[in-house]
Chains A and B, each alone.
Chain A
Amino acid sequence: MTSVVTVDKNPIDSYLRADRMPHIFCTGCGIGPAMGCFIRAIDRAGVDADKIALISGIGCAGRVAGYVRLDSFHTTHGRALPFGTGLTLGNPELNVVVFSGDGDLAAIGGNHLIHSARRNIDMTVICINNFNYGMTGGQLGPTTPLEARSTTSPYGNFDPPFNLTHLVAASGATYVARWTTIHLRQLERSIAEALVKPGFSFIEVLAPCPAIYGRMNKLGEGVDELHSYLKRCVVRNGADPGDGEIGLSGPIVVGKFVDTERPTFWDYCMQVFNKAQKKR
């Protein structure tokens, strides 16, 4: 006989597509907790969820677009940022959020990343960094630490990784933070701040990938990776993003690195409308 267990409704259920469950994330994966932080941040920031357009690229984190009950776009590999650029410039009242992975945003989409930051496009980017390409089975990516094992670095990685916070800050982002999926409160607060902040906001989320990256690098289960984050992470708000290099071991700087202001691309667009229409 089948027993039915009824559970109380979770406050974030209204933001989820229950008819898409079960999700594809592996046991211990960090994407789910990060997605939970994003959803809670919507209410915390008090923004209108009907105005949110969430865009994902391709990969494990790219699947988030399919699970949220928001206007959501699952686009091509690396192209969530320019798609989002079109959305926000097409309708500046939209609250554009890009939720994707490190390989998607920093390798195949790396050019779009630096240019979106340079333009200070009004959007919030949540970048899951699990240090490898999980969806395709664990290849090295642009964030894989030196010496780490992956299916395409069988002798240990010799392809130097990006420090994403440094890259994005140098490119002109006005909000840059890094947390892990053990720092859920800080992550939720950062996302809430980014959702209401004009300009290009970038939040890197270090996330366990126990089924693939963790297994290949003998990091244990998901919870073991979280424990290691607790041990390794040093919270330094206002830290120089250049100090944010991540190795296979050793300390990891997390916190809010950049929170500054400069005109957004849309601010300049409005100035240009005035100039052009006076000349007309």
Chain B
Amino acid sequence: MADDGILEGEFFINGDEACAEGGITAGCRFFAGYPITPATEVAERMSRRLPQVGGVYVQMEDELASMNAILGASWAGVKAMTSTSGPGFSLMMENLGLGVMLETPCVVVNIQRAGPSTGLPTLAGQGDMMQAKWGSHGVYEIIAVVPSSPQEIFDLTITAFNLSEKYRIPVLIMSDEIVGHMSEKVVMRRVAPEELVPRRRPTVPPGEYWPYQPDDDLVPPMAIAGEGYRFHVTGLTHDERGYPVMTAEAQDRLARRLVDKIRVNRKDIIQLEEVGTEDAEVIVCAYGITARVARRAVQQARDEGIRAGLLRLITAWPFAEDRVTELASQVRAFVVPEINYGQMVLEVERCAGGRAKTMLVPHMGGSVHHPQTILEAIREAVQ
């Protein structure tokens, strides 16, 4: 451990712990949470580690409170995060919407388990992917990343903080129980200050500052509480001054910008990994733990002489529609395995637009696909 309490080097830890460490490396100094399997280890690690680096861990009364507390901390100028799983994620939806509306940087981790309801608390699922996109009411766009390993959850937690500051939006880390609980080697590297995106601060004095006057990229600079800006922010539809305006015109102006600031900047946000897609006739599109299973199936298909490729989503939302649309005119089929009964596959199908066949390989949760199941879908796709 360095003098400042930040860890560096190689560690054998699980994904939940790596997520907490990624947050600390990214500069997170406030965590509010509520115990829930399989995300509890994120909170436990934070309760031990944050005080070592001068940060606050607070265990709230529920996930409604946790989500609000991180929004408040962010407005106090601190990088803040929380972690949960399905039932808690549902409770966070209310104030995820407030975070979107107030344009508040923060990071929300969902270590997904199988549902609905209490479901399988200790076993994996990927059934919250559409909830991540649509779970809070109203018109908005969100950013969500999907790590496949403890190393990647460490790295993507840093990415998530950077995106949240850059675009003033809560960023979701949509992991799963297996990635959260598997232990692997994680290399924690020292991140240079210039790799961390600073908050975009106002360049005008108090009195001239409007909290929702956007820059050219549609993102407004953000004042923090206690600096004399005397700003007002509200969950009501508001104008550039932050004042409520109850008209369809104000709603149109605000909601469009909240969505467009993500859509317009999607090329900067979206990350993908591609394996063997150049000559592929069939592409398996997968994410999270399922992408690791799919990788094996794709290799087996190649061994059989099938030109298969893997498109691994690192960013789930905004969806990589430009690239999937492009690939749709090249391939015969997309095979989409996921631990649900068909969620991201709907996006793939939409982008394929009938030009390539789209095949869902569902799994209801509790374990992962067998590679053979995905292989059989690949074989069927090229018949």
Q: Which residues of A contact B (CB under 8 A)?
A: 17, 19-20, 50-51, 53, 55, 65-66, 69-76, 78-79, 81-91, 93-94, 111-112, 115, 265, 269, 272-273, 275-277, 279-280
How many cross-chain pairs have Cβ atoms below 8 Å apart between A and B?
A: 153
Measured between beta carbons, the chain A residues less than 8 angstroms from B48 are 276
**Interchain CB contact (< 8 A) of A89 among B56, B64, B102, B232:** B56
Whether a CB of chain A sits under 8 angstroms from the CB of B306 is no
Distance in angstroms between the alpha carbons of A93 and B95 in the assembled complex: 25
On whether the beta carbons of A71 and B229 are closer than 8 Å, the reply is yes
Q: Indicate if B275 sits at the interface (CB-CB under 8 A).
A: no
Are the CB atoms of A82 and B60 closer together than 8 Å?
yes
| Interface-central residue, B65, B73, B243, by most chain A CB under 10 Å | B65
- Among B74-82, B172-180, B183-191, the one that faces the other chain is B74-82
* Interface residues of B, count at CB 8 A: 48
Interfacial chain B residues near A90, Cβ < 8 Å: 30, 56, 72-78, 80
Max count, chain A CB within 10 A of own CB: residue among B5, B229, B234, B243? B234
What are 17 pairs between A and B in contact, CB < 8 Å?
A50-B227, A50-B230, A53-B75, A66-B232, A73-B232, A74-B236, A75-B235, A76-B97, A82-B72, A83-B72, A85-B69, A86-B75, A87-B72, A90-B80, A91-B226, A111-B61, A115-B61
* CB-CB under 8 A for A273 and B54, given A76-B98, A82-B60, A86-B74: yes
Q: Which of B39-98 contact A (CB under 8 A)?
A: 48, 51-52, 54, 56, 58, 60-62, 64-66, 68-78, 80, 94-95, 97-98
A208 CB, nearest partner CB in chain B, Å = 25
Q: In angstroms, how far is the closest chain A Cβ from the Cβ of B243?
A: 6
Q: How far is the CA of A125 from the CA of B235 in the complex (A)?
A: 20
Q: Which residues of B contact A79 (CB under 8 A)?
A: 64-65, 68, 94-95, 98
Chain B residues whose C-beta falls within 8 Å of the C-beta of A75 in the assembled complex: 68, 71, 95, 98, 235
Report yes or no: B72 in contact with A280, Cβ–Cβ below 8 A.
Answer: no
Minimum CB–CB distance from A200 to chain B (whole Å) comes to 14
Set B5, B70, B98: member contacting A280, Cβ < 8 A:
B5
| Chain B residues whose CB sits within 8 angstroms of the CB of A70 once the complex forms | 230
Task: State the CA gap A251–B229 with chains docked (Å).
Answer: 45
Q: In the complex the two chains form, is B74's CB within 8 Å of A280's CB?
A: no
Give the chain B neighbours of A72 by CB distance below 8 A: 231-233
Kindly state whether residue B228 has any CB partner on chain A within 8 Å. yes
The complex places the Cα of A84 from the Cα of B32 at a distance, in Å, of 13
A93 x B226 contact (CB < 8 A):
yes
Interface of A is mostly: helix
Contact B72 A65, beta carbon cutoff 8 Å: no
Residues of A within 8 A of B228 (CB): 50
Judge whether B70 and A86 touch: CB under 8 Å: yes
- Is residue B362 contacting chain A, with contact meaning CB distance below 8 A? no
Question: Is A85 in contact with B71, judged by CB distance below 8 angstroms?
Answer: no
Residues of A within 8 A of B75 (CB): 53, 73, 86-87, 90
Across the two chains, which residue of chain B brings its CB closest to A80?
B68
Determine whether the beta carbon of A83 is less than 8 Å from that of B233. Answer: no
> Are B243 and A66 in contact, CB atoms less than 8 angstroms apart?
yes
A17 to nearest B CB, angstroms? 7
- Is B233's CB under 8 angstroms from A73's CB? yes
Is A94 within 8 A of B51, CB to CB? no
Assuming the contacts A74-B234, A75-B98, A90-B56, asked whether A273 and B51 have C-beta atoms less than 8 A apart, the reply is yes
Mark interface residues in B12-32 (1 if CB within 8 Å of A CB, else 0).
Answer: 000000000000000000101
List 13 additional A-B contacts (Cβ < 8 Å) besides A89-B69, A93-B226: A50-B230, A72-B231, A75-B71, A79-B65, A79-B95, A82-B60, A84-B72, A85-B69, A86-B72, A88-B72, A90-B77, A111-B65, A277-B5
